[in-house]
């Protein structure tokens, strides 16, 4: 009688174990297009090039002159969305290759406005 009770509970336990072990979520697979992967890679490359741009001595000096910590600007670039990175990268790409002072000032002002909108600085009270 005692063995019969143990056998019954063992069967219940094994039944419970096998039924719960068999319950799994369904895996969903989707095709990933080449353009999607290329856009992700390009976005990360653009973000890295913007970081490298902020490492230039003239840009860092201009940021410091305007009262912006270059580390804050790096953090802001890291938090930009992909569309913001594309826009900023395009504006940097439109600057003259020689790196005129006007282009650098325009980029720095753009970064300052982005920092001000994000709340990292309070340079422009109207923004």
Q: Which two tokens stand for residue 127?
A: 């923004």
CA distances from 30 to 39, 46, 67, 75 (A): 17, 27, 48, 33
pTM, rounded to two decimals: 0.46
The mean per-residue pLDDT over the stretch 73-86 comes to 81
Backbone dihedral region of 69: left (phi > 0), alpha (psi from -120 to 50 degrees) or beta? beta
**What is the tens place of the pLDDT at every residue in 39-66?**
666 778 888 888 888 888 888 888 788 7
**What confidence score (pLDDT) does residue 39 get?**
67
Exposed (0-12), middle (13-18) or buried (19+): which is 86, by Cβ within 10 Å?
middle
pLDDT at 40: 67
**Predicted local confidence at residue 26, as pLDDT:** 63
């Amino acid at each position: 009688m005692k063995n019969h009770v143990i056998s019954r509970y063992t069967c219940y336990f094994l039944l419970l174990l096998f039924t719960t072990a068999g319950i799994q979520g369904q895996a969903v697979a989707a095709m990933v297009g080449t353009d999607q992967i290329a856009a992700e890679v390009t976005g990360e490359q653009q973000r890295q090039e913007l970081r490298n741009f902020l490492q230039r001595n003239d840009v860092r000096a201009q940021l410091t002159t305007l009262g912006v910590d270059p580390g804050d600007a790096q953090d802001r670039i890291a938090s930009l969305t992909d569309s913001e990175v594309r826009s900023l990268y395009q504006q940097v790409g439109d600057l003259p290759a020689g790196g005129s002072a006007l282009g650098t000032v325009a980029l720095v002002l753009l970064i300052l406005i982005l920092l001000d909108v994000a709340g990292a600085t309070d340079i422009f009270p109207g923004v």
